[in-house]
Structure 1
């Protein structure tokens, strides 16, 4: 929700794309629906429904500066197994195609693996900057 709020404030500077987890069925299966109910109790269903509606309006791809194509996933000719589709990029990002393509992995602590997440920034001069963020350690409740 924070990223969506920032996108509303800075629509020309922050671009959000829809991925494979931003749909009705996946949010039900992987816990987002339950999380909304836990955090917002009686209003949880409405919160979830409004967020799903917002997800439905996100583009599947964005073209930035007329030449940087951003999308979730893609179909690689190197995919041989289903595991290849769901592989984690441990350093947060990985360059491909002689530096013309980059994979950004933005799921911190994916499956409890303790991996970093990455944010990509491209300024007006088309300079690329990566920011690595460490996963937040959960505090133990007494």
Structure 2
């Protein structure tokens, strides 16, 4: 069996590998103690890296295909720009509460694409901890709920 580079499985593996390499490089700069191979083993379409104030610092290529927004548009904004009238305040509160206590969170929240259409976003947010055991950033793994 030969691998055709247009094979969807090959493309997914290639994108995950590229995401992993970028995150490993950023991890070295920030002294993060995280096993990205393990963390990226869950299903995701997009990755969003934020600082503690939740300002977006980096998104992977999947961000644009899932949301319609170009990466350079998202960088510097807070993920809240994806929220709208049907985004649950209760879920947003649970996310804030869990993150403020240093925990990892998984929720499904209503977000909005650039074209205005709503979608259910399954999100897992991982606090990134440095060698001093201090949370310095957050990594969100997101995918559109089926």
TM-score normalised by length of structure 1? 0.26
Structure number with greater CO (CA < 8 Å, separation at least 6) is: 2
Structure showing greater Rg? 1
Structure with greater proportional strand content: 2
